[in-house]
Structure 1
Amino acid sequence: MRITRLAGPIAVLGTAAVLAACSSGTSGSTGASGSTGTPAAAGPVSLEFWCWGTTQKPKVEAFNKAHPDIQVKQTDVGGGTDTAAKLLTATRAGNGPDAACIEYETLPSMIVAGALADISAHTGDVKTAFSPEVWDLTSFDGAVYGVPQDVGPMVLVYNKKRFEELKIEPPATWQDFAKVAADVRKKDPETYLASFAPAEFGNFAGLAQQAGASWWKVQDQTWTVGIADQASLAVADYWQGLIDKDLVKAEPLLTPEWNNRLNKGKILTWPSALWAPGVLYGIAEKQAGDWAIAPLPQWTAGDARVAFQGGSALTVTKTSKHAEAAATFAKWMNTDKAAYDVQIELGEYPASLAGQQAASSSAPPKLTANQKDYWDIATKAAQSTIPHISWGPNVSTASSAYQDAVAAAVRDHTPLRDALTKTHNLVVEDMKTTGFKVAGP
């Protein structure tokens, strides 16, 4: 089994990661400082920055232009998982970058591993640039380990043109989703409403959280793990039923085969996050304007709450010799208008209040260019996000275990609920072996 672990010194994270409401607000650029309490060196401070994604290069260029006393070099060392693993190795060797992007769900494990610096002494001036819930995504027990960059409230991304051709409507509930999935298969046997992707740990976690699941909680230094709780098992059973009836196709996302069928209009939705239209535009540019977003289907009619899928913070490493300058960089990158304008233009939903307000009056992403109410739906999704979502200290272990177990279940036609139970047991065993106190089985 392909199990990886971000192991390190044992610590307890007493505050849960949280994501919640988007509302109007103001923020501005912060002053630059390259001091860390030692005499300033001649010339500008040079910072090394690790992050992925299309928004980073233009944001860094804008920062460097505005801050002649702090110059940043950005390196893309891979996506979220790759960056976290390489960052841990580099910081342990004492040669990590000054700043790095870390996904919210991975942040607790990186703190436990001792890779990140507490920058609370340098970030008090931007705390109010974010909603309290979003700020708490990077704050634990009074310490601040990063500045929120983007958030991903979950929505249903759908091919509106094909929906209209097939005379179907976006489903309001997951029960409706199953009915529409059956209707699609009858009307066009080569088409599926959606795919079930075995490797998408974060997506399944979000759907389970929407149903009421809580995968990690900590109280009085004791962890509770709920990856196989009743809500999660019910979600697994739901998708099992769709797979067994051939109403959705169990397959990886974003492969050449999947991309080809998406371009042919044979895959009609992606229950995902607000960053998804940008991803789909990258593989289906000719469908620009054909797609739209709708509220994510509800498990209980009338309950509009959703989880978030994805999102990251800009952190400062413990090995940085320029922590204050790196914190200045992190703040500017996530609160300055020049920075969030880039995010919006390239389809990233900003974490800052001012960025979200600016997004609400901007043009929709190119994939959904003809949807006039795009930002209305996006804003409502952000305002309906479930607070107090906790991530544990071994998310990388959980993700790897989930992917292995679910892929095997799909391949061997065994129950998805058994795969969840196996994942749960492996996560608990790993936490106990690492030294955490875990309640229950």
Structure 2
Amino acid sequence: MLRLGGGVGAAAVLGGALSGCGRAAEADPVTSGTVDLSFWTHDQAYVDFFATAARNAEAAGDAPFRWRLNPTRAGAQDVVTKTIAQAIAGRGTPDVAGLEINNFTRMLRGEIATELLEPLEGHLDADVRDDLLTVRTAPFSKDGHLYALDSDAPLVVYYYREPEFARASLPTDLATWDELAEAGRRAHERHDVAIGAVAVGSDLTQITQIFDMLLMQRGGRFFDEDGTLTIETPEAEQALAFLARGVQEGFLTTVSDFYGPAMQAALKSGQLIGQWMATWYKIYGLMPNVPEQSGQWRIRPLPVFPDGGSRTSFTGGTGFAALRAKRNTLAGVELVKAAFLTPAEQIRRYVDLGYLPTRRSVFDAPELLRIEDEYCGGQRMVEVYRDLIDEAPVFYLSADRPILDTVLSGHLLRAYHGDSTPAQALRDAAEDFRGQTRDHD
């Protein structure tokens, strides 16, 4: 039941259990001194980053605490599952937890976030609050409260392999998706290459993610701020029509997922020479799969849809939260602030991890703007990101996102195969979604 906590029924049970015991024993907070802090995350890189941030803050004398991290690593889903389970048990919750954005949706069910997580907005100075990117605070907020600080501002850009674009006579500066699609269709017929890939494997989140990126770019979204489903729109139909056309005409290829052997084979063989994806994909997708292609890749803004939208989108992120009503709650809040909010640490996070700043002012930092990326041929990538950040779309999470991933993924595949039109696929997905959520109301 706990592992399925993203579902309506299970999460409702969890919420009820938390409501019964979550506020029973609020501890007096530690306000200074040495603190042993339980720190849960899915990624060792975060452990290392926070440990260094703690040392830096102590050396600078910027914090009243000396943190000694006791890290626990688990899968992104398991971090949330185990946090909720330990809260129900009434013991053993982490002091700080990194909540990957797709799994954070489970915290939005009922009062789970309210019961478990410390609201952060009251701990932030006004100038910092005003400088934080709304596009990165909105997904981790509920009912006016900010429950986690995002580790990244993962803008979606278009990666392209420059020598292969030249070999296929593909321009690298086409302004619209329609123009790139037509050029890509011709290149596919002549050179058997693809300008992008869609996931069609067992990871339902990856299937819907690639559509979600283009939908947000076009100006749509899966959910409104109040959690209402919004996929039956012209924007959604246009985004899906592009994907379906691409698969059927061959200028988009299909892979089981974006990180495994199928993607690696497509990249290594030169079949796949472009992909829209988040800024972190260079580190987690391209560099591990095709290190030998260093120097060949570049990034650019996304081509636009002719009917409107922006030149970028968002996907991914991990919010770090402090657990409420614990002795170490304040120490946890201050660690997250020290690691994620100071300009120096925001710059170091990009240098060490490739994650973009979440404070708008840091995009203008000369130290970032002058970095030349070796893998991308010496390109000054932050210049591209700075040009796009103010166009980034705001998106909202819903506790029902796991249900949507389940029902929508199958209908996307039907549209790719030509078994339904984009409009019909979206109508059927919306009907299935409403049926499943209605059953649990």
TM-score under structure 2 length normalisation: 0.80
Whether the 8 Å contact between 2:54 and 2:339 is mirrored in structure 1 is no
1:251 aligns with 2:258: no
The corresponding residue for 2:203 is none
Distance 1:138 1:46 in 2: 26
TM-superposed CA distance for 1:120, in Å, is 3.1
1:432 and 2:435 are equivalent in the alignment: no
Distance 1:406 1:134, change over 3 A: closer
Q: In the TM superposition, what whole-angstrom CA distance separates every residue of 1:326-362 from its partner, at most 9, and x where no partner exists?
A: 1111111212324641333332112123543346424
Which of the residues 190, 194, 197 maps onto 2:196?
A: 194
**Structure 2: segments with no counterpart, 5+ residues:** 16-25, 59-64, 201-205
Is 1:402 aligned to residue 408 of structure 2?
yes
Matched with 1:361 is 369
> 1:23: which partner in 2?
none
1:205 and 2:207 aligned: no
Distance 2:266 2:313 in 1: 28
Describe the SS at the equivalent of 2:178: helix
2:218–2:310: 8 Å Cα contact kept in structure 1? Answer: no
- Percent sequence identity is 18
CA RMSD of aligned residues (A): 3.2
Label 1:119 to 1:409 Cα distance change in 2 as closer, same or farther (>3 A): same
Q: How many residues align?
A: 403
1:172 touches 1:295 (CA, 8 Å); kept in 2? no
2:184 counterpart (181, 184, 187): 181
| 1:117 alignment counterpart | 118
C-alpha separation between the residues in 2 aligned to 1:87 and 1:152?
Answer: 25
d(CA) in 1 for partners of 2:145, 2:35: 25
**Aligned counterpart for 1:38 among listed residues 28, 31, 38:** 28
2:37 alignment counterpart: 47
Please give the per-residue CA displacement for 1:257-289, whole angstroms capped at 9, x wherever unaligned.
320220232211111111122121121111111
- Quote how far apart the aligned CAs of 1:82 are: 4.6
In structure 2, what is the equivalent of residue 100 of structure 1?
Answer: 97
Of 365, 375, 398, which residue of structure 1 is paired with 2:382?
375
Stretch of structure 1 that moved more, 143-152 or 333-342: 333-342
Contact 1:281 1:366 in 2 (8 A): no
Per-residue deviation, 1:145: 0.7
Shift of 1:42: 10
SS of equivalent residue, structure 1 residue 390 = coil
Question: Does the Cα contact within 8 Å between 1:363 and 1:369 map onto a contact in 2?
Answer: no
Query: For residues 40 and 347 of structure 1, do their structure 2 counterparts lie closer, same or farther at Cα, with a shift above 3 Å needed?
Result: closer
- Aligned to 2:317, the other structure's residue is in SS state strand
The structure-2 alpha-carbon separation of the partners of 1:351 and 1:343, relative to structure 1 and needing over 3 Å to count, comes to same
Moved more, 269-278 or 360-369: 360-369
Task: For structure 1, list consecutive stretches of 5 or more residues without a partner in the other structure.
Answer: 12-35, 436-441
> 2:268 & 2:362 partners in 1: Cα distance?
32
2:239 is equivalent to residue 235 of structure 1 = yes
Aligned residue type for 1:168: L
Task: Go from structure 1 to structure 2 and tell me whether the alpha carbon gap of 1:301 and 1:48 turns closer, same or farther (over 3 Å shift).
Answer: same
Shift in alpha-carbon separation, 1:214–1:83, aligned structure 2, 3 A: same
Asked if 2 retains the 8 angstrom alpha-carbon contact of 1:334 and 1:340, the reply is no
Higher relative CO (Cα under 8 Å, sequence separation at least 6) belongs to 1
**d(CA) in 2 for partners of 1:46 and 1:64?**
12
Say whether the 8 Å CA contact 1:305–1:384 is kept in structure 2.
yes
The answer to whether the 8 Å contact 2:27/2:325 transfers is: no
Structure 1 residue 298: Cα displacement: 0.4
The Cα of 1:153 is off from its aligned counterpart by 1.5
Instruction: Name the aligned partner's letter for residue 67 of structure 2.
Output: I
Partner residue of 2:23?
Answer: none
Q: In structure 1, which of residues 385, 391, 395 is the aligned counterpart of residue 392 of structure 2? A: 385
8 Å contact 2:219–2:310 — kept in the other structure?
A: no
Q: 1:54 to 1:301 in 2, by over 3 A?
A: farther
Deviation, 1:41, is 9.7
Give 1:318-357 correspondences, 5 Å limit: 318=324, 320-336=326-342, 337-338=344-345, 340-353=347-360, 355-357=362-364
Q: Does 1:273 align with 2:278?
A: yes
Amino acid at match of 1:91: A
SS of alignment partner, residue 50 of structure 1? strand
1:155 deviates by: 1.0
In the alignment, structure 1 residue 58 sits paired with structure 2 residue 42: no
- The 5 A counterparts of 1:278-293 are 278-279=283-284, 280-293=286-299
